[in-house]
Every structure is written in structure tokens, then in C-alpha cells.
Amino acid sequence: MPDALTANLEAVRRTTARSAERAGRDPAAITLVAVTKTVAVAPIRDAIGLGLKTFGENRVQEAMPKIEAIGTGDASWHLIGHLQTNKVKFIEGRFAMVQSIDRLDLVEALDRRLGSPLDVLIEVNVAEEPQKTGALPADLPAIADAAHAARHLRLRGLMTIAPAVSDAELVRPVFQRLRTLRDENSQRLGAPLPVLSMGMTEDYPIAVEEGATMLRLGRALFGPR
Ligand SMILES: *Cc1c(COP(=O)(O)O)cnc(C)c1O
């Protein structure tokens, strides 16, 4: 096994456990999604050898040959990047979760196309950054209602990408806001939305303190891209 990945994974687990402890949370309730965009098949196999099971890819086209090579038995694949409507046909049988539902027409296109239920998260552009993907908070209720009602979608929670800032502490309110939005929508729908996918390499210790149940880590595991 490559030493760097082993050491990185240990460091991530230690940091996650410390943050969870500070917040009185159980680190076992936090799923690590290893983000493998630009990462080749061999290091992904190494990661599987080290016990990682969930992998995040942000482009369908890049993910397909990797999923083909590695399969869906030892690895579970999450789409974490923007999904174009014309790529919806590639989701079933490959991805266990789409974390990046960001508009009504995507809910409709997926629901029409799928033959069996798919776990989804709605991506929210909490900070309302103009060039960012994700639903605006004002549009979230309508998308959540549609996803909750869709026959072939199982709405599991929310995802966000926090703004890039020099001091990770500045993103804490973004994570708090995502959690509040989750609570509000869960209550309105009368359905549990257990998943909060938030926290990347630069900010995951704070995301854990604020209730993240899924971390999406690329560089913290595989090094710089
Ligand atoms: C690339 C990416 C990540 C991982 O980013 P790192 O900073 O390498 O941890 C997480 N989420 C999304 C949506 C990404 O595109």
C-alpha cells in the first residue's frame, strides 16, 4: 500500500475524530467520500484496499471508465458535480447517489429515466455565489417537494460547497445555514433528511463540528491535483 495515502487517511480519521469529539458527536456517524476526480484507477484500488468504500466523481464522462474498471461491488459511486440532463441516461447501474440535484427539470428528467430508486441530495448554493452551481435557498422548497414526491428518487438530504476563503472559520455560518435548511425542509416534508454532505479538504473539521454526516475529501487523501 502506498505510504502517503495510508498516512493521509490516518490523519483525516484523527482530525475527524477530534472534531466530532469537540461537538459531542460519534465519528462513526460520518461517511468519508473519497473524491477521485483526476485520480487514476490504481490509487482508487489502493484506497479500497485501505477500507474506503464511497467515491465521489464530479463528471459522468470521467467517472464511467473508472466505474467500468472497478465495478460497483467494492465501491459505491456518488456523482458530486453538475449533472446535465442529457447525461441522466448514464446514472442508473453506475451511481448509488447523485449529490448534485440543483433544479426542477433535473428531478423530472431523472424520475422519468430511472427504473429503480436512486438516493439523491439537493445541492444548495448557500452563499449565493453567482458563478456557482447549486439551487438558491429560495428555490430549495420547490425542488425538495418534487424530489420527495418523485417515484424513483429518495431524497436523503442536502449538500453544499462552501466558498473558498482564507480562513476556514469564515465558512461556519454556511454549514450552520445548510443544517437549518435541512431541519426546515425535513419538518415541512415530514420526512427525515439525515444526510448533510458538507466539508472538503480546507474546511472539513469545521463541517464536522456543524453536523456534517458526509465529508467529500480529495486532496486531503490523494494530494494536490
Ligand atoms: C473536488 C471536489 C471536492 C473535493 O475537494 P478537495 O478540496 O480536494 O477536498 C468535494 N466536492 C466537490 C463537489 C468537488 O468537486
What residues does each domain of the chain span? 3-222
Ligand 1 centroid to Cα of residue 200, in Å, is 6
Architecture per CATH, domain 3-222, reads as Alpha-Beta Barrel (3.20)
Three-state DSSP class for 77?
strand
Q: Specify whether the CB–CB gap between 205 and 14 falls below 8 A.
A: no
Rounded to 5°, the CA angle 52-32-147 comes to 120
The tens place of each residue's pLDDT in the chain, 225 residues long, gives 579 999 999 999 999 999 999 999 999 999 999 999 999 999 999 999 999 999 999 999 999 999 999 999 999 999 999 999 999 999 999 999 999 999 999 999 999 999 999 999 999 999 999 999 999 999 999 999 999 999 999 999 999 999 999 898 899 999 999 999 999 999 999 999 999 999 999 999 999 999 999 999 999 999 999
Atom of ligand 1 nearest to the CA of 99: 13
- What CA–CA distance (Å, rounded) separates 121 from 142? 14
Three-state DSSP class for 113?
helix
Atom of ligand 1 nearest to the CA of 222: 8
Atom of ligand 1 nearest to the CA of 37: 1
Q: pTM to 2 decimals?
A: 0.97
Q: Specify whether the CB–CB gap between 163 and 119 falls below 8 A.
A: no
DSSP structural state of residue 109: H
- Pocket-testing residue among 12, 57, 80, 165, ligand 1, by greatest number of atoms within 8 A of Cβ: 80
Q: Ligand 1, atom 12: nearest CA belongs to which residue?
A: 80
Q: Ligand 1, atom 8: nearest CA belongs to which residue?
A: 218
Q: Give the sign of the dihedral formed by CA 81, CA 82, CA 84, CA 85.
A: positive
